[in-house]
Amino acid sequence: MEEEKIIKGYDPVIMRRLLQFTKPYKLPAIIAIIALLIATVAELATPVIMQRAIDHHIMARYYRFAAADNVRSTLEEHGLYDDALEIGDNYYLPETDSEKLPADEKDALIEADQFSRTTWYLTPTREDADLQALINNYPDKIDVRDGYIIMTRADMQALPMEQKTLLRTGDINGIGRSTLLYFLLLAGALLFMFLQVYLIAYTGQEVMRDIRSSLFGHTIRQSLRYLGKTPVGTLVTRITNDVETINEFFTSVATSLLRDFALMGGVVVTLFLLDVRLATITVLSLPPVLLMTLFFRSRARDAYRRVRLWVSNVNAFLSEHISGMEVVQIFGREERSGREFKKKNEELLSANLSEMMVFAVFRPMINLFTSISIGVVLYFGGQMVMQTTVSLGIMIAYVNLIQKFYQPVMDFTEKFTIMQSAMAGGERIFHLIDAKDRIPDEGSGSLPEHVKGRIEFKNVRFAYVQDEPVLQDLSFTIEPGETVAIVGYTGAGKTTIANLLARMWDIQSGSITIDGVDIRSVPLQNLRNVVQPVQQDVFMFAGTIEDNIKLGADIPHRQVRRAAETVQAAPFIEQLPQGYESELKESGANLSTGQRQLLAFSRVVAHDPRILILDEATGSIDTETEQLIQAAIEKLMQGRTAIVIAHRLSTIRNADRILVLNDGQLAESGRHDELLARDGLYATLYRLQYQQQGGKAP
């Protein structure tokens, strides 16, 4: 079943073909990707800003080292010397940088009395009378050297709040700057995310428009053979639902996956930039999450497949039974149909519950693993903070970054199912595009500017299905301006002749010519401007009556009115409230069958073809209406070559010639009276029809 092909994994071939449609929109797509990367960087920078605010301002502490040559070489070896402040006989190194020194080297410096674990606060001096008074009040606790105010953490904490605030004005200002930068980054991330989402949505919608146009343009050029064997519902689903799955892929999945992978990769890189040891411990807690994601992705795929299968089954059942509700009610099938629908509906309910079960387990599990990873960071990071090998700001940043890492993991399974559906939708779309079953339209010839209308079928053979011929070596000629009727038993090939003349189908052998020109050498548009049929089943489009007569052609209103008057359609049109501007419902449901037939006649008259085909054209019109338009039809046929196909033999008595078909071959040819006099197939058909009508043939 086709529904079972809904789930398909990532297919690079389909993806490449989909991306071909994005080429005209490369610029907005590239801008969107750049905006995405900028937004991701801004989002990842916020925990770093928070860490720097904590470590460099809130917890702004320094370790003091003796300004000795061996200390300097140690700091240079680890790339820390440039960050150290040399004040007096000591180096002061920020606590966050001091944590980068190996523990054994710290212990060696402690033993040499060149380093202690006492922490110090440093703040630049400034012109401030209150600050100077504070320094003078604590000469034994506050040391001022080389433009810095220096005191131990313990002495700082012992001061009153007002004095601590005075001493740490620089740090307070730094926190303000960090906060401002934090909000600017958030605003930037919001702005660029909006830009990215809008541009991707714009690109996706443009791509969907192009795909729909391509599909529709391709479909309307397919042959009747292809359209006849392909269900209309399938074609509509391809152009609407399947295209929409690709739209969802572009707008929801592609963007999200790109952002999620960028965010997750950025988180890992940022973790290692902040601290390699804690990053390694954190990353070691991730494999179970990745394995669980792969497992649930498989389960979600199966659940999604089952849901889509039963959604399709339920929709098909509803469409079929609502369309055939008259039959259901006539034969009293309501209860049975209700039971069948209930069973299918229960299966759909079960499938939906199974899908919900997968996500009901998956999401809490991700939350659990998020908490476990945060717990690992708190456990090991807390010990490192106490051992002064990791700062408090780094540990807080880690907690924030881990939460950002797990956010996209929550969406992976859901996004993957959408991607699978989009891949399957893309496969079906390209299968439709790749199916090329068209009437060849490569003719470089042309019909004369003034077509006379001479038609010749020469040794024509045709079959809808191979080895089941409909026409066999058929030959006949219709002279310009002649009205020829074609009759025969059902299946004799009457309507086929009309289809072949308009090249709705192509013959297998022989030739069909108009004024001596083979119709296969004539462009289809040119041919169909000359040959136009009025078919048995008249189709009306939703729109105005005038639009249905014009069918997009540049025909003035007066010509439309004249055409309607010619076929006696004007009276009923002008009685409508809006006249020619009256809106028709789908398939012209608000008109009678006879009125639709009259509009079909109006179409042909308005387009003024040289060759006219009436295929059971009056079969749906009542006798009174037929009598009214018979004269109009005769007037219409004047000066035109006309082919009349009819089962009602009384309508073709006045034809110039009658062709009688039997088993795809020409059995008889002549005028009505001549054929009756021969007492052959035509006479038999004529007598049978009158007997069926309860009358006697004249």
Classify residue 480 by its DSSP letter: T
Nearest of 28, 434, 41, 11 to residue 249 by alpha carbon? 11
Assigned domain for 55 exists:
no
Residue 512 pLDDT greater than 90, yes or no: yes
The encoded tokens of residue 149 equal 């105010």
At residue 498, the pLDDT reads: 87
CA distances for 70 relative to 63, 66, 94, 332, angstroms? 16, 9, 19, 102
Rounded to two decimals, the pTM is: 0.68
Instruction: Name 681's bridge partners.
Output: none
At 672-687, the pLDDT tens digits run 889 889 988 888 888 8
128-159: per-residue pLDDT in tens? 888 888 888 888 888 898 888 899 888 888 88
Pick the closest to residue 650 from 623, 679, 625, 632 (CA basis). 623
Predicted pLDDT at 2: 45
On whether both 566 and 668 belong to a single domain, the answer is yes
648 confidence band (pLDDT: 50, 70, 90): low
411 and 283: one domain? yes
Q: Which residues contact 471 (CB under 8 A, 6 or more apart)?
A: 460, 461, 462, 493, 496, 497, 500, 507, 664, 665
Confidence at residue 626, expressed as pLDDT on a 0 to 100 scale = 62
Last residue of a domain, one of 109, 140, 165: 165
- Mention every residue, 6+ apart, whose C-beta is less than 8 A from residue 68: 114
Domain assignment present for 446: no
Res. 537: pLDDT tops 80: no
The pair of three-digit structure tokens given for residue 600, joined into one six-digit string:
């079909």
Q: What is the pLDDT of residue 619?
A: 53
Residue 47 in tokens: 């925990």
Q: Tell whether 442 is covered by a domain.
A: no
pLDDT of residue 4: 43
CB atoms within 10 A of CB 205: 14
DSSP annotation string for 581-610: GPEE-GGGTTS-HHHHHHHHHHHHHHH--S
d(CA 202, CA 22): 11
Same domain, yes or no, for 380 and 508? no
Q: What is the CATH number of the domain that holds 31?
A: 1.20.1560.10
Residue 470 and residue 581 in one domain: yes
Least confident of 271-275, 287-291, 455-459, 568-572: 287-291
Measured CA to CA in angstroms, residue 591 lies from 75, 563, 582, 603 at distances of 94, 18, 11, 16
- CA–CA gap between residue 121 and residue 123 (Å, rounded): 7
CA distance 256 to 411: 9
Domain assignment of residue 391, yes or no: yes
For residues 494 and 413, membership in a common domain is answered with no
Q: 144, 165, 186: which is the final residue of a domain?
A: 165
What is the residue-wise DSSP string for 445-462? ----SS----EEEEEEEE
Domain, as residue range, for 365? 2-49+176-434
Asked whether the predicted pLDDT for residue 251 surpasses 80, the reply is no
Q: Where among 372, 399, 434 does a domain terminate?
A: 434
Task: Assess contact for 445 and 530: CB atoms under 8 A.
Answer: no
Same domain, 473 and 342: no
Task: Tell whether 31 and 103 lie within a shared domain.
Answer: no
Kindly tell me if the per-residue pLDDT of 231 is higher than 60: yes
Please list, in sequence order, all residues whose beta carbon lies within 8 angstroms of the beta carbon of residue 120, skipping any fewer than 6 positions away. 61, 62, 63, 64, 92, 150, 151, 152, 153
- State yes or no: pLDDT of 696 exceeds 70: no
Please compute the mean of the pLDDT values over residues 228-241 and round it to a whole number. Answer: 75
DSSP state of 438: B
Same domain, 100 and 241: no
pLDDT over 50 at 3, yes or no: no
- Per-residue pLDDT, 65: 92
Q: Which helix (DSSP H) or strand (DSSP E) does residue 684 occupy? A: helix 681-692
pLDDT confidence of 695, banded at 50, 70, 90?
Answer: very low
In a domain, residue 367? The reply is: yes
Same structural domain, 491 and 356? no
Is 617's pLDDT higher than 60? no
Identify whether residues 464 and 556 lie together within a single domain.
yes
- 314-335 residue pLDDT tens: 877 887 778 778 777 877 778 8
For 99-118, the pLDDT digits (tens) are 778 888 888 888 888 998 88
| Contact between 120 and 63 (Cβ < 8 Å) | yes
Kindly indicate the confidence band of residue 8, based on its pLDDT and cuts at 50, 70 and 90: low
d(CA 36, CA 312): 36
Structure token pair of residue 308: 């889509």
* Confidence check: pLDDT of 620 > 70: no
287 lies in some domain: yes
Q: Are residues 227 and 369 in the same domain?
A: yes
pLDDT higher than 90, residue 61:
no
Which segments of 221-254 does DSSP mark as H helices, in order?
Answer: 224-229, 232-237, 243-248
Same domain? 540 vs 619: yes
Q: Is the pLDDT of residue 272 over 80?
A: yes
List the structure tokens of 619.
């079969």
Query: Can you give the pLDDT at residue 388?
Result: 61
pLDDT more than 70, % of the chain: 91
Average pLDDT over residues 392-412: 79
Radius of gyration, alpha carbons of the chain: 43
Mean pLDDT of the residues in the chain: 82
Confidence of residue 9 (pLDDT cuts 50, 70, 90): low
The per-residue pLDDT for 536 is: 65
Point out the least confidently predicted range of 87-96, 182-191, 617-626: 617-626
- 622 is a domain residue: yes
The total number of structural domains in the chain stands at 3
Query: Is pLDDT at 6 greater than 50 in this prediction?
Result: no
CATH number of the domain encompassing residue 550:
3.40.50.300
Listed in order, strand segments (DSSP E) in 72-155 are: 85-87, 90-94, 115-124, 143-145, 148-152
Q: What is the pLDDT of residue 1?
A: 41
- Quick one: average pLDDT of 412-422? 71
Whole-angstrom Cα distance, residue 501 to residue 479? 15
What integer pLDDT is reported at residue 10 of this predicted model?
A: 64
Percent over 90 (pLDDT), the chain: 11
Is 344 within a domain?
Answer: yes
Angstrom distance (rounded) from CA 132 to CA 126: 9
Q: What are phi and psi of 221, to 5 degrees?
A: -100, 0
The whole-number average pLDDT for the span 621-634 is 62
Identify the pLDDT of residue 650.
Answer: 57
217 versus 650: the higher-pLDDT residue is 217
pLDDT digits (tens, 9 = 90+) for 447-504: 887 888 899 999 999 998 888 889 989 999 999 988 899 988 888 888 889 889 988 8
Of the pLDDT bands very low, low, confident and very high (cuts 50, 70, 90), residue 510 is very high
